Amino acid sequence: MKLFILFLLVFCFTHQSYSQKYVKVWSDEFNTPGLPDTTKWDYEVGMVRNNELQYYTSKRYENARILDTTLIIETRKEAYLGASYTSASLISKFKGDWQYGKFEIRAKVPAGKGTWPAIWMLPSNEEYGFWPRSGEIDIMEYVGMNINNLYFTAHFEGTNGTGHQSSGGQTSTIPPYGRFVTYTLIWTPTKLEWYADGVKYWSYSATPTDPRVWPFNKVFYMILNLAYGGSWGGQQGVDDTKLPARFYIDYVRVYQLN
């Protein structure tokens, strides 16, 4: 009997360790029509970065709204506070902040030269210094001038003396425009892995004790934005005939190990 009980205890412990799994800790299914949930999202405002052409607006239905259980971020050609275009950039900073986990976002990017949608993460507190020293994780980037390509990248200070290095990959095997794709990032204390529709396309790992190459041991927040033009998105110009452009996000789900 004692041997049987010991066997049972060992079996249960082993089974429990193997069955450790991710559990959902935060999500937005975008099921309530109207403006995005202010308990989960804030907005970047203005002409923020990269010489982009759009003015990011706040709580403006024309640029960010929920319709038919989908978040729509829309870039429009219109005069607005000195800019010729408007769009939106939603951030979860101090409302959704995480260290490690599995991040799953189902989204559909717009076509059109000049469009630059992204799903990405920045540190909630820049504990290693200004960008890129505290890191950046691009879960997905897309530029309309390269209509078949998706990009997955990590940015950090690096050790080559330039002050900025990156590790990234791309794929053209999943034409992303006109259809929804599920993007997944798995972030552990030692590795980043990028997936699209369940297929792994890139991974990055580095010495976890060196923040120059691994600043990814701090808390990060998420950004959903649709830029237009700029240092990358506008390298081949823009095509205003494709506007308004719409970036559709079906859901955002965040999991961590139980």
Catalytic residue numbers read 136, 141
The CA distance from 144 to 216, in Å, is 29
β-pairing verdict for 54-56 and 83-87: parallel
Task: Report how far residue 212's alpha carbon sits from residue 199's, in angstroms, rounded to the nearest whole number.
Answer: 29
DSSP type of residue 110: P
Q: What are the tokens at 176?
A: 């992303």
Q: What is the dihedral of CA 240, 87, 169, 25, to 10 degrees?
A: -150
- Distance CA(239)–CA(177), nearest Å, equals 16
Instruction: Look at the alpha carbons of 99, 104, 106, 107 in this order and tell me if their dihedral is positive or negative.
Output: positive
- DSSP letter, residue 242: G
User: Pick from 115, 158, 116, 117: which is nearest to 136 by CA?
Assistant: 158
Cβ neighbours of residue 188 closer than 8 Å, sequence gap 6 or more = 100
Residues 17-43 as b or e (16 or more Cβ within 10 Å = b): eeeeeeeeebebebeeeeebeeeebbb
Distance between CA atoms of residues 47 and 85, nearest Å: 10
